Structure 1
Protein backbone atom coordinates (compact mmCIF):
# COMPACT_ATOMS: atom_id res chain seq x y z
CA UNK A 1 0.00 0.00 0.00
CA UNK A 2 1.27 3.49 -0.88
CA UNK A 3 2.14 5.19 2.46
CA UNK A 4 1.28 8.60 0.99
CA UNK A 5 -2.35 7.45 0.78
CA UNK A 6 -2.78 8.33 4.45
CA UNK A 7 -1.96 11.97 3.69
CA UNK A 8 0.03 12.28 6.94
CA UNK A 9 3.53 11.78 8.24
CA UNK A 10 2.15 10.60 11.59
CA UNK A 11 -0.68 8.07 12.04
CA UNK A 12 -4.19 9.45 12.16
CA UNK A 13 -7.44 8.55 10.47
CA UNK A 14 -8.47 11.69 8.64
CA UNK A 15 -6.34 12.62 5.60
CA UNK A 16 -4.67 16.00 5.79
CA UNK A 17 -3.15 17.99 2.94
CA UNK A 18 0.61 18.20 3.33
CA UNK A 19 2.63 21.17 2.13
CA UNK A 20 2.16 21.55 -1.61
CA UNK A 21 5.40 21.62 -3.56
CA UNK A 22 3.92 22.59 -6.93
CA UNK A 23 0.63 23.46 -8.56
CA UNK A 24 0.18 19.77 -9.43
CA UNK A 25 0.23 18.71 -5.78
CA UNK A 26 -3.22 19.88 -4.74
CA UNK A 27 -5.30 16.82 -5.61
CA UNK A 28 -5.00 17.24 -9.38
CA UNK A 29 -4.31 14.12 -11.44
CA UNK A 30 -1.38 14.94 -13.78
CA UNK A 31 -2.42 12.14 -16.13
CA UNK A 32 -5.16 14.58 -17.22
CA UNK A 33 -2.70 16.30 -19.57
CA UNK A 34 -2.24 13.14 -21.62
CA UNK A 35 1.50 13.74 -21.75
CA UNK A 36 4.56 12.71 -19.78
CA UNK A 37 6.50 15.72 -21.02
CA UNK A 38 5.31 19.36 -21.01
CA UNK A 39 3.09 20.33 -23.92
CA UNK A 40 -0.41 21.41 -24.84
CA UNK A 41 -2.19 18.56 -26.56
CA UNK A 42 -2.85 15.00 -25.32
CA UNK A 43 -1.17 12.19 -27.24
CA UNK A 44 -1.27 8.43 -27.48
CA UNK A 45 1.15 7.62 -24.68
CA UNK A 46 1.18 3.83 -25.00
CA UNK A 47 0.79 2.02 -28.30
CA UNK A 48 1.31 -1.26 -26.46
CA UNK A 49 0.43 -2.33 -22.95
CA UNK A 50 3.27 -2.65 -20.48
CA UNK A 51 1.36 -4.67 -17.88
CA UNK A 52 0.92 -8.40 -17.68
CA UNK A 53 -2.85 -9.08 -17.50
CA UNK A 54 -2.10 -12.54 -16.12
CA UNK A 55 -1.77 -10.77 -12.74
CA UNK A 56 -5.38 -9.55 -12.90
CA UNK A 57 -6.69 -12.79 -14.34
CA UNK A 58 -5.23 -14.76 -11.43
CA UNK A 59 -6.19 -12.22 -8.75
CA UNK A 60 -9.77 -11.27 -9.62
CA UNK A 61 -12.72 -13.39 -8.44
CA UNK A 62 -14.19 -15.21 -11.46
CA UNK A 63 -16.83 -13.31 -13.41
CA UNK A 64 -18.53 -10.16 -12.22
CA UNK A 65 -17.92 -6.48 -12.85
CA UNK A 66 -14.37 -5.18 -13.05
CA UNK A 67 -12.76 -1.86 -13.86
CA UNK A 68 -9.44 -1.21 -15.62
CA UNK A 69 -7.50 1.74 -16.93
CA UNK A 70 -8.11 1.60 -20.68
CA UNK A 71 -4.56 2.50 -21.82
CA UNK A 72 -3.71 0.45 -24.95
CA UNK A 73 -6.75 -1.77 -24.44
CA UNK A 74 -4.79 -4.93 -23.71
CA UNK A 75 -5.76 -5.50 -20.08
CA UNK A 76 -9.38 -4.62 -20.88
CA UNK A 77 -9.33 -7.08 -23.79
CA UNK A 78 -7.80 -9.87 -21.71
CA UNK A 79 -10.41 -9.42 -18.97
CA UNK A 80 -13.29 -9.28 -21.44
CA UNK A 81 -11.98 -12.40 -23.17
CA UNK A 82 -11.99 -14.20 -19.82
CA UNK A 83 -15.69 -13.48 -19.32
CA UNK A 84 -15.58 -10.43 -17.05
CA UNK A 85 -18.05 -7.56 -17.41
CA UNK A 86 -15.43 -4.87 -18.04
CA UNK A 87 -15.48 -1.09 -17.85
CA UNK A 88 -12.38 0.76 -19.03
CA UNK A 89 -11.69 4.37 -18.12
CA UNK A 90 -9.05 6.81 -19.28
CA UNK A 91 -8.62 10.49 -18.56
CA UNK A 92 -6.75 11.02 -21.84
CA UNK A 93 -9.35 11.23 -24.66
CA UNK A 94 -6.78 10.43 -27.36
CA UNK A 95 -5.62 7.31 -25.53
CA UNK A 96 -9.23 6.28 -24.90
CA UNK A 97 -10.12 6.53 -28.61
CA UNK A 98 -7.06 4.42 -29.38
CA UNK A 99 -8.06 1.82 -26.81
CA UNK A 100 -11.53 1.71 -28.34
CA UNK A 101 -10.02 1.10 -31.76
CA UNK A 102 -7.82 -1.72 -30.42
CA UNK A 103 -10.86 -3.40 -28.85
CA UNK A 104 -12.52 -3.24 -32.28
CA UNK A 105 -9.57 -5.13 -33.78
CA UNK A 106 -7.31 -2.30 -34.98
CA UNK A 107 -3.53 -2.91 -35.03
CA UNK A 108 -1.14 -1.21 -32.64
CA UNK A 109 0.37 2.18 -33.48
CA UNK A 110 3.45 3.92 -32.15
CA UNK A 111 2.89 5.98 -29.01
CA UNK A 112 5.14 8.33 -27.07
CA UNK A 113 6.58 5.47 -25.00
CA UNK A 114 7.49 3.46 -28.10
CA UNK A 115 9.17 6.46 -29.73
CA UNK A 116 11.35 7.01 -26.67
CA UNK A 117 12.31 3.34 -26.55
CA UNK A 118 13.06 3.31 -30.28
CA UNK A 119 15.37 6.32 -29.94
CA UNK A 120 17.31 4.61 -27.15
CA UNK A 121 17.65 1.37 -29.14
CA UNK A 122 18.87 3.30 -32.21
CA UNK A 123 21.64 4.97 -30.22
CA UNK A 124 22.60 1.67 -28.61
CA UNK A 125 22.82 -0.11 -31.99
CA UNK A 126 25.33 2.48 -33.13
CA UNK A 127 27.43 2.03 -30.01
CA UNK A 128 27.36 -1.75 -29.65
CA UNK A 129 26.85 -4.15 -32.60
CA UNK A 130 25.50 -6.79 -30.21
CA UNK A 131 22.37 -4.67 -29.93
CA UNK A 132 21.55 -4.80 -33.63
CA UNK A 133 18.05 -6.28 -34.12
CA UNK A 134 19.06 -9.69 -35.49
CA UNK A 135 21.57 -10.19 -32.66
CA UNK A 136 19.01 -9.26 -29.98
CA UNK A 137 16.40 -11.52 -31.57
CA UNK A 138 18.84 -14.43 -31.62
CA UNK A 139 19.78 -13.83 -27.97
CA UNK A 140 16.10 -13.87 -27.02
CA UNK A 141 15.54 -17.14 -28.88
CA UNK A 142 18.61 -18.69 -27.26
CA UNK A 143 17.51 -17.46 -23.83
CA UNK A 144 20.87 -15.90 -22.90
CA UNK A 145 20.72 -12.12 -22.52
CA UNK A 146 23.71 -11.90 -20.18
CA UNK A 147 26.21 -10.51 -22.75
CA UNK A 148 23.74 -7.84 -23.86
CA UNK A 149 22.89 -6.70 -20.34
CA UNK A 150 26.56 -6.68 -19.37
CA UNK A 151 27.39 -4.19 -22.12
CA UNK A 152 29.30 -1.18 -20.76
CA UNK A 153 27.79 0.92 -23.52
CA UNK A 154 24.29 -0.07 -22.38
CA UNK A 155 25.09 0.94 -18.81
CA UNK A 156 26.59 4.22 -20.00
CA UNK A 157 23.65 5.01 -22.25
CA UNK A 158 21.16 4.32 -19.47
CA UNK A 159 23.10 6.41 -16.98
CA UNK A 160 23.41 9.37 -19.35
CA UNK A 161 20.04 9.06 -21.04
CA UNK A 162 17.89 8.57 -17.96
CA UNK A 163 19.55 11.12 -15.69
CA UNK A 164 17.67 14.13 -17.20
CA UNK A 165 14.23 12.55 -16.68
CA UNK A 166 13.78 14.34 -13.39
CA UNK A 167 14.21 17.64 -15.21
CA UNK A 168 12.01 17.07 -18.26
CA UNK A 169 9.06 15.07 -16.92
CA UNK A 170 5.93 16.84 -15.79
CA UNK A 171 6.32 17.71 -12.08
CA UNK A 172 3.88 15.13 -10.73
CA UNK A 173 5.69 12.24 -12.41
CA UNK A 174 9.12 13.10 -11.08
CA UNK A 175 8.39 11.62 -7.67
CA UNK A 176 7.93 8.15 -9.14
CA UNK A 177 11.46 8.01 -10.60
CA UNK A 178 13.70 5.87 -8.35
CA UNK A 179 17.23 7.04 -7.58
CA UNK A 180 19.79 5.48 -9.94
CA UNK A 181 17.09 4.58 -12.40
CA UNK A 182 19.68 3.06 -14.75
CA UNK A 183 20.68 0.43 -12.17
CA UNK A 184 17.07 -0.15 -11.14
CA UNK A 185 15.98 -0.90 -14.72
CA UNK A 186 18.95 -3.15 -15.37
CA UNK A 187 18.16 -5.16 -12.24
CA UNK A 188 14.51 -5.49 -13.26
CA UNK A 189 15.51 -6.67 -16.73
CA UNK A 190 17.96 -9.21 -15.33
CA UNK A 191 15.29 -10.67 -13.06
CA UNK A 192 12.64 -10.70 -15.76
CA UNK A 193 14.83 -12.26 -18.45
CA UNK A 194 16.02 -15.24 -16.42
CA UNK A 195 13.05 -17.42 -17.28
CA UNK A 196 12.11 -18.18 -20.91
CA UNK A 197 12.64 -14.72 -22.44
CA UNK A 198 11.77 -16.03 -25.91
CA UNK A 199 8.19 -16.64 -24.71
CA UNK A 200 7.84 -13.22 -23.08
CA UNK A 201 6.13 -10.70 -25.41
CA UNK A 202 7.29 -7.78 -23.28
CA UNK A 203 10.92 -8.83 -23.70
CA UNK A 204 10.50 -8.53 -27.47
CA UNK A 205 8.72 -5.20 -27.18
CA UNK A 206 11.31 -3.62 -24.91
CA UNK A 207 14.46 -4.99 -26.52
CA UNK A 208 13.57 -5.16 -30.21
CA UNK A 209 10.58 -2.87 -30.72
CA UNK A 210 8.74 -5.78 -32.32
CA UNK A 211 5.57 -7.49 -31.15
CA UNK A 212 7.00 -10.84 -32.14
CA UNK A 213 4.47 -12.98 -30.27
CA UNK A 214 1.37 -10.97 -31.11
CA UNK A 215 -1.65 -12.47 -32.82
CA UNK A 216 -4.37 -10.59 -34.66
CA UNK A 217 -6.44 -8.74 -32.03
CA UNK A 218 -9.89 -10.17 -31.48
CA UNK A 219 -12.75 -7.67 -31.14
CA UNK A 220 -13.94 -7.46 -27.54
CA UNK A 221 -16.92 -5.81 -25.92
CA UNK A 222 -16.28 -3.44 -23.03
CA UNK A 223 -17.60 -0.07 -21.93
CA UNK A 224 -14.98 2.66 -22.34
CA UNK A 225 -15.56 5.94 -20.54
CA UNK A 226 -13.62 9.20 -20.73
CA UNK A 227 -13.26 10.14 -17.08
CA UNK A 228 -10.93 10.27 -14.12
CA UNK A 229 -10.90 6.93 -12.32
CA UNK A 230 -11.57 8.43 -8.87
CA UNK A 231 -14.53 10.39 -10.26
CA UNK A 232 -15.98 7.26 -11.84
CA UNK A 233 -15.59 5.22 -8.66
CA UNK A 234 -17.33 7.96 -6.66
CA UNK A 235 -20.30 7.95 -9.02
CA UNK A 236 -21.09 4.23 -9.34
CA UNK A 237 -23.44 2.54 -6.84
CA UNK A 238 -21.87 1.35 -3.60
CA UNK A 239 -20.26 -2.08 -3.91
CA UNK A 240 -20.47 -2.04 -7.71
CA UNK A 241 -17.16 -3.69 -8.64
CA UNK A 242 -15.51 -6.99 -7.72
CA UNK A 243 -12.10 -6.04 -9.11
CA UNK A 244 -10.21 -2.92 -10.13
CA UNK A 245 -6.97 -2.71 -12.08
CA UNK A 246 -5.43 0.71 -11.46
CA UNK A 247 -2.24 0.33 -13.49
CA UNK A 248 0.26 2.83 -12.03
CA UNK A 249 -2.31 5.59 -11.57
CA UNK A 250 -0.63 6.82 -8.35
CA UNK A 251 2.75 7.38 -10.02
CA UNK A 252 2.12 11.09 -10.41
CA UNK A 253 -0.80 12.33 -8.28
CA UNK A 254 -0.08 13.66 -4.80
CA UNK A 255 -1.27 12.44 -1.41
CA UNK A 256 -4.51 14.40 -1.64
CA UNK A 257 -5.54 12.56 -4.79
CA UNK A 258 -4.36 9.24 -3.36
CA UNK A 259 -6.57 9.73 -0.30
CA UNK A 260 -9.52 10.60 -2.53
CA UNK A 261 -8.95 7.45 -4.59
CA UNK A 262 -8.78 5.37 -1.42
CA UNK A 263 -12.19 6.66 -0.31
CA UNK A 264 -13.63 6.10 -3.78
CA UNK A 265 -12.43 2.48 -3.77
CA UNK A 266 -13.99 1.89 -0.36
CA UNK A 267 -17.29 3.12 -1.81
CA UNK A 268 -17.23 1.33 -5.17
CA UNK A 269 -15.87 -2.10 -4.23
CA UNK A 270 -17.85 -4.81 -2.51
CA UNK A 271 -16.29 -6.64 0.46
CA UNK A 272 -13.71 -9.13 -0.73
CA UNK A 273 -13.12 -7.30 -4.03
CA UNK A 274 -9.54 -7.12 -5.33
CA UNK A 275 -7.47 -4.07 -6.27
CA UNK A 276 -4.34 -4.42 -8.42
CA UNK A 277 -2.00 -1.45 -8.31
CA UNK A 278 1.41 -1.17 -9.96
CA UNK A 279 4.13 1.36 -9.25
CA UNK A 280 7.32 2.33 -11.02
CA UNK A 281 8.84 3.10 -7.62
CA UNK A 282 11.13 0.69 -5.82
CA UNK A 283 9.61 -1.25 -2.88
CA UNK A 284 9.84 0.39 0.52
CA UNK A 285 12.02 -1.35 3.14
CA UNK A 286 10.46 -4.69 4.13
CA UNK A 287 7.77 -4.25 1.45
CA UNK A 288 6.97 -7.26 -0.71
CA UNK A 289 7.37 -6.45 -4.42
CA UNK A 290 4.31 -8.60 -5.14
CA UNK A 291 3.64 -11.14 -7.91
CA UNK A 292 5.80 -11.43 -11.00
CA UNK A 293 4.73 -9.15 -13.83
CA UNK A 294 6.37 -10.31 -17.07
CA UNK A 295 6.48 -6.71 -18.36
CA UNK A 296 9.50 -6.23 -16.05
CA UNK A 297 9.06 -2.46 -15.61
CA UNK A 298 7.36 -2.35 -12.23
CA UNK A 299 9.02 -2.05 -8.85
CA UNK A 300 5.85 -3.02 -7.00
CA UNK A 301 2.73 -4.94 -8.00
CA UNK A 302 0.30 -4.73 -5.10
CA UNK A 303 -2.76 -6.94 -4.75
CA UNK A 304 -5.13 -5.82 -2.04
CA UNK A 305 -8.40 -7.42 -1.00
CA UNK A 306 -11.00 -4.98 0.31
CA UNK A 307 -11.87 -5.64 3.92
CA UNK A 308 -8.55 -7.43 4.56
CA UNK A 309 -5.98 -5.92 6.90
Structure 2
Protein backbone atom coordinates (compact mmCIF):
# COMPACT_ATOMS: atom_id res chain seq x y z
CA UNK A 1 0.00 0.00 0.00
CA UNK A 2 0.99 3.66 -0.28
CA UNK A 3 1.78 5.52 2.92
CA UNK A 4 3.23 8.91 3.89
CA UNK A 5 6.14 8.60 6.31
CA UNK A 6 9.22 10.45 7.57
CA UNK A 7 12.56 9.09 8.76
CA UNK A 8 13.89 12.31 10.30
CA UNK A 9 12.41 15.37 11.94
CA UNK A 10 12.26 18.53 9.91
CA UNK A 11 10.28 20.56 7.42
CA UNK A 12 7.65 19.35 4.96
CA UNK A 13 10.37 18.06 2.65
CA UNK A 14 11.06 15.12 5.01
CA UNK A 15 7.69 13.59 4.11
CA UNK A 16 7.92 10.67 1.70
CA UNK A 17 5.27 8.64 -0.11
CA UNK A 18 6.43 5.03 0.20
CA UNK A 19 5.29 1.48 -0.41
CA UNK A 20 4.62 -0.11 2.98
CA UNK A 21 3.16 -3.25 4.48
CA UNK A 22 -0.52 -3.12 5.30
CA UNK A 23 -1.26 -2.68 9.04
CA UNK A 24 -3.23 -5.25 11.02
CA UNK A 25 -6.09 -4.60 13.44
CA UNK A 26 -5.20 -5.66 16.97
CA UNK A 27 -7.58 -6.32 19.88
CA UNK A 28 -10.14 -3.54 20.20
CA UNK A 29 -9.22 -2.03 16.83
CA UNK A 30 -10.59 -1.94 13.30
CA UNK A 31 -8.75 -1.47 10.03
CA UNK A 32 -10.24 0.71 7.33
CA UNK A 33 -9.64 1.25 3.67
CA UNK A 34 -8.99 4.97 4.01
CA UNK A 35 -11.04 7.27 1.82
CA UNK A 36 -9.88 10.52 3.42
CA UNK A 37 -7.56 11.62 6.26
CA UNK A 38 -7.79 14.83 8.26
CA UNK A 39 -4.83 17.24 8.33
CA UNK A 40 -4.18 18.58 11.83
CA UNK A 41 -1.62 20.92 13.35
CA UNK A 42 -0.41 18.04 15.53
CA UNK A 43 0.68 16.26 12.33
CA UNK A 44 3.27 18.86 11.41
CA UNK A 45 4.21 19.55 15.03
CA UNK A 46 5.17 15.89 15.43
CA UNK A 47 6.94 15.93 12.08
CA UNK A 48 9.04 18.85 13.34
CA UNK A 49 9.98 16.85 16.44
CA UNK A 50 7.93 18.76 19.01
CA UNK A 51 7.32 16.57 22.04
CA UNK A 52 3.58 16.86 22.65
CA UNK A 53 2.97 13.72 24.69
CA UNK A 54 4.69 11.78 27.47
CA UNK A 55 6.75 9.73 25.03
CA UNK A 56 8.75 10.78 21.95
CA UNK A 57 7.66 9.21 18.68
CA UNK A 58 9.84 6.54 17.13
CA UNK A 59 11.35 7.02 13.67
CA UNK A 60 10.55 6.21 10.96
CA UNK A 61 6.99 7.29 11.62
CA UNK A 62 3.73 7.53 9.74
CA UNK A 63 1.58 10.65 9.68
CA UNK A 64 -2.01 11.37 10.59
CA UNK A 65 -4.55 10.71 13.34
CA UNK A 66 -7.96 11.25 11.73
CA UNK A 67 -9.61 9.27 8.95
CA UNK A 68 -12.85 8.16 7.38
CA UNK A 69 -13.24 5.00 5.37
CA UNK A 70 -14.73 1.53 5.08
CA UNK A 71 -14.07 -1.18 7.68
CA UNK A 72 -12.25 -4.14 6.11
CA UNK A 73 -10.71 -5.89 9.14
CA UNK A 74 -12.01 -6.23 12.72
CA UNK A 75 -9.81 -7.00 15.74
CA UNK A 76 -10.73 -9.36 18.55
CA UNK A 77 -13.19 -8.10 21.13
CA UNK A 78 -14.77 -5.55 18.82
CA UNK A 79 -18.56 -5.47 18.64
CA UNK A 80 -21.15 -3.27 16.98
CA UNK A 81 -19.35 -2.85 13.64
CA UNK A 82 -19.17 -5.01 10.53
CA UNK A 83 -16.92 -5.27 7.50
CA UNK A 84 -18.15 -2.79 4.92
CA UNK A 85 -19.40 -0.21 7.44
CA UNK A 86 -18.46 3.43 6.73
CA UNK A 87 -16.86 4.96 9.83
CA UNK A 88 -14.85 7.97 10.96
CA UNK A 89 -12.44 8.11 13.84
CA UNK A 90 -8.91 8.31 15.22
CA UNK A 91 -5.96 6.00 14.85
CA UNK A 92 -2.41 6.34 13.61
CA UNK A 93 -0.59 6.68 10.28
CA UNK A 94 -3.83 7.65 8.55
CA UNK A 95 -2.13 9.27 5.54
CA UNK A 96 -2.22 5.86 3.87
CA UNK A 97 -4.40 3.55 1.82
CA UNK A 98 -5.13 1.44 4.92
CA UNK A 99 -5.06 2.49 8.57
CA UNK A 100 -5.93 1.09 11.99
CA UNK A 101 -8.41 3.00 14.14
CA UNK A 102 -8.54 2.76 17.93
CA UNK A 103 -11.73 4.85 18.22
CA UNK A 104 -14.51 5.21 15.66
CA UNK A 105 -18.18 5.84 15.08
CA UNK A 106 -20.62 5.23 12.27
CA UNK A 107 -20.53 8.02 9.71
CA UNK A 108 -23.59 10.27 10.01
CA UNK A 109 -25.92 10.15 7.01
CA UNK A 110 -25.34 12.89 4.48
CA UNK A 111 -21.58 13.27 5.09
CA UNK A 112 -19.01 12.45 2.45
CA UNK A 113 -15.83 10.63 3.48
CA UNK A 114 -13.95 13.85 2.74
CA UNK A 115 -16.14 15.81 5.16
CA UNK A 116 -16.20 13.11 7.85
CA UNK A 117 -12.40 12.91 8.01
CA UNK A 118 -12.31 16.51 9.20
CA UNK A 119 -14.22 15.97 12.45
CA UNK A 120 -12.60 13.54 14.93
CA UNK A 121 -9.65 15.41 16.47
CA UNK A 122 -11.12 18.89 16.16
CA UNK A 123 -14.38 17.95 17.89
CA UNK A 124 -12.55 16.07 20.67
CA UNK A 125 -10.29 19.10 21.14
CA UNK A 126 -13.19 21.56 21.10
CA UNK A 127 -15.15 19.60 23.70
CA UNK A 128 -12.06 19.17 25.88
CA UNK A 129 -10.99 22.81 25.93
CA UNK A 130 -14.49 24.24 26.41
CA UNK A 131 -14.67 22.02 29.48
CA UNK A 132 -11.15 22.89 30.62
CA UNK A 133 -11.71 26.64 30.47
CA UNK A 134 -14.98 26.32 32.38
CA UNK A 135 -17.18 28.36 30.07
CA UNK A 136 -20.86 28.12 31.07
CA UNK A 137 -24.20 29.08 29.61
CA UNK A 138 -24.71 32.84 29.83
CA UNK A 139 -20.97 33.60 29.83
CA UNK A 140 -18.79 35.01 27.06
CA UNK A 141 -15.91 33.01 25.59
CA UNK A 142 -13.19 34.67 23.52
CA UNK A 143 -11.65 32.45 20.83
CA UNK A 144 -8.38 33.65 19.31
CA UNK A 145 -7.90 32.15 15.86
CA UNK A 146 -11.52 31.06 15.48
CA UNK A 147 -11.92 30.25 11.77
CA UNK A 148 -10.00 26.96 11.57
CA UNK A 149 -11.28 23.46 12.26
CA UNK A 150 -11.12 23.57 16.07
CA UNK A 151 -12.49 27.11 16.10
CA UNK A 152 -15.37 26.14 13.83
CA UNK A 153 -16.27 23.33 16.23
CA UNK A 154 -15.85 25.48 19.36
CA UNK A 155 -18.13 28.21 17.99
CA UNK A 156 -20.95 25.82 17.16
CA UNK A 157 -20.71 23.71 20.31
CA UNK A 158 -20.53 26.82 22.50
CA UNK A 159 -23.56 28.31 20.72
CA UNK A 160 -25.49 25.09 21.37
CA UNK A 161 -24.59 25.37 25.07
CA UNK A 162 -25.79 28.95 25.39
CA UNK A 163 -22.31 30.48 25.53
CA UNK A 164 -21.71 33.80 23.74
CA UNK A 165 -18.55 33.66 21.62
CA UNK A 166 -16.30 36.46 20.45
CA UNK A 167 -14.03 35.19 17.69
CA UNK A 168 -10.93 36.73 16.15
CA UNK A 169 -9.86 35.92 12.60
CA UNK A 170 -8.59 37.57 9.43
CA UNK A 171 -10.71 40.11 7.57
CA UNK A 172 -11.73 37.52 4.96
CA UNK A 173 -13.27 35.26 7.61
CA UNK A 174 -15.44 37.75 9.51
CA UNK A 175 -18.68 36.77 7.76
CA UNK A 176 -17.82 33.09 8.26
CA UNK A 177 -17.51 33.58 12.03
CA UNK A 178 -20.81 35.44 12.11
CA UNK A 179 -22.47 32.62 10.17
CA UNK A 180 -21.50 30.30 13.05
CA UNK A 181 -23.11 32.62 15.60
CA UNK A 182 -20.03 34.45 16.85
CA UNK A 183 -19.38 38.12 17.45
CA UNK A 184 -16.46 38.66 15.09
CA UNK A 185 -13.49 40.97 15.00
CA UNK A 186 -10.09 41.01 13.32
CA UNK A 187 -6.76 40.38 14.99
CA UNK A 188 -3.82 42.73 14.54
CA UNK A 189 -3.14 46.16 16.04
CA UNK A 190 -5.91 47.36 18.34
CA UNK A 191 -7.62 43.97 18.59
CA UNK A 192 -7.84 44.04 22.40
CA UNK A 193 -9.86 47.27 22.34
CA UNK A 194 -12.06 45.91 19.57
CA UNK A 195 -12.83 42.89 21.74
CA UNK A 196 -13.60 45.11 24.73
CA UNK A 197 -16.13 47.03 22.67
CA UNK A 198 -17.95 43.75 22.02
CA UNK A 199 -18.35 43.06 25.73
CA UNK A 200 -16.65 41.64 28.84
CA UNK A 201 -14.87 38.29 28.51
CA UNK A 202 -15.28 35.48 31.05
CA UNK A 203 -12.88 32.94 29.51
CA UNK A 204 -10.57 32.66 26.51
CA UNK A 205 -9.05 30.04 24.21
CA UNK A 206 -5.84 30.41 22.21
CA UNK A 207 -6.10 28.26 19.10
CA UNK A 208 -3.48 29.91 16.90
CA UNK A 209 -0.39 30.35 19.07
CA UNK A 210 0.11 33.87 17.78
CA UNK A 211 1.66 35.33 20.92
CA UNK A 212 -1.52 36.68 22.52
CA UNK A 213 -1.44 34.93 25.90
CA UNK A 214 -0.71 38.10 27.90
CA UNK A 215 -3.60 39.91 26.21
CA UNK A 216 -5.99 37.02 26.88
CA UNK A 217 -5.03 37.10 30.57
CA UNK A 218 -5.61 40.85 30.56
CA UNK A 219 -9.07 40.46 29.03
CA UNK A 220 -10.20 37.66 31.37
CA UNK A 221 -8.38 38.96 34.45
CA UNK A 222 -7.19 35.47 35.40
CA UNK A 223 -4.66 33.11 33.75
CA UNK A 224 -6.76 30.18 35.02
CA UNK A 225 -9.54 31.35 32.70
CA UNK A 226 -7.34 30.90 29.63
CA UNK A 227 -6.43 27.66 27.83
CA UNK A 228 -4.08 27.26 24.86
CA UNK A 229 -3.66 24.40 22.40
CA UNK A 230 -1.02 26.16 20.33
CA UNK A 231 1.47 28.05 22.52
CA UNK A 232 3.91 25.69 24.26
CA UNK A 233 5.16 28.61 26.39
CA UNK A 234 1.71 29.40 27.80
CA UNK A 235 2.40 27.61 31.14
CA UNK A 236 5.20 30.11 31.84
CA UNK A 237 2.44 32.71 32.27
CA UNK A 238 0.22 30.44 34.36
CA UNK A 239 -1.99 29.40 31.45
CA UNK A 240 -2.86 25.75 30.87
CA UNK A 241 -1.68 24.07 27.69
CA UNK A 242 -4.13 21.34 26.70
CA UNK A 243 -2.56 18.71 24.49
CA UNK A 244 -3.68 15.34 25.83
CA UNK A 245 -6.87 13.89 24.36
CA UNK A 246 -9.81 12.97 26.53
CA UNK A 247 -12.37 10.30 25.65
CA UNK A 248 -12.31 10.08 21.87
CA UNK A 249 -15.23 7.59 21.64
CA UNK A 250 -17.43 9.96 23.66
CA UNK A 251 -16.38 12.89 21.47
CA UNK A 252 -17.15 10.95 18.28
CA UNK A 253 -20.57 9.99 19.62
CA UNK A 254 -21.38 13.62 20.48
CA UNK A 255 -20.07 14.77 17.11
CA UNK A 256 -22.27 12.26 15.30
CA UNK A 257 -25.31 13.42 17.27
CA UNK A 258 -24.68 17.11 16.62
CA UNK A 259 -24.02 16.51 12.93
CA UNK A 260 -27.18 14.43 12.57
CA UNK A 261 -29.20 17.17 14.30
CA UNK A 262 -27.80 19.81 11.94
CA UNK A 263 -26.07 21.63 14.81
CA UNK A 264 -22.47 21.05 13.68
CA UNK A 265 -20.98 21.45 10.23
CA UNK A 266 -17.30 21.97 9.44
CA UNK A 267 -16.52 22.78 5.81
CA UNK A 268 -13.58 21.34 3.89
CA UNK A 269 -11.48 24.24 2.66
CA UNK A 270 -9.10 22.22 0.50
CA UNK A 271 -8.34 18.62 -0.43
CA UNK A 272 -4.98 17.06 -1.33
CA UNK A 273 -3.73 13.74 -2.66
CA UNK A 274 -1.27 11.56 -0.74
CA UNK A 275 1.53 12.86 -2.94
CA UNK A 276 0.61 16.41 -1.87
CA UNK A 277 0.99 15.80 1.87
CA UNK A 278 3.89 18.27 2.12
CA UNK A 279 1.77 20.99 0.50
CA UNK A 280 -1.04 20.21 2.96
CA UNK A 281 1.38 20.70 5.87
CA UNK A 282 2.71 23.96 4.44
CA UNK A 283 -0.82 25.32 4.10
CA UNK A 284 -1.87 24.08 7.54
CA UNK A 285 1.17 25.63 9.18
CA UNK A 286 0.51 28.96 7.44
CA UNK A 287 -2.90 29.16 9.13
CA UNK A 288 -5.69 31.47 7.93
CA UNK A 289 -7.85 28.48 7.02
CA UNK A 290 -11.62 28.29 7.09
CA UNK A 291 -12.66 24.85 8.27
CA UNK A 292 -10.59 21.77 7.42
CA UNK A 293 -7.91 20.42 5.11
CA UNK A 294 -8.00 16.75 4.17
CA UNK A 295 -6.01 14.15 2.28
CA UNK A 296 -8.19 12.23 -0.17
CA UNK A 297 -7.18 8.68 -1.10
Same fold (TM over 0.5): no
Pairwise TM-score range, normalised by the shorter structure: under 0.3
Where relative contact order (Cα < 8 A, 6+ residues apart) is larger, the structure is 1
Q: What is the TM-score of this pair, normalised by structure 2?
A: 0.28
Q: What is the TM-score of this pair, normalised by structure 1?
A: 0.27
Q: Give the structure with the higher percent helix.
A: 1
Q: Give the structure with the higher percent strand.
A: 2
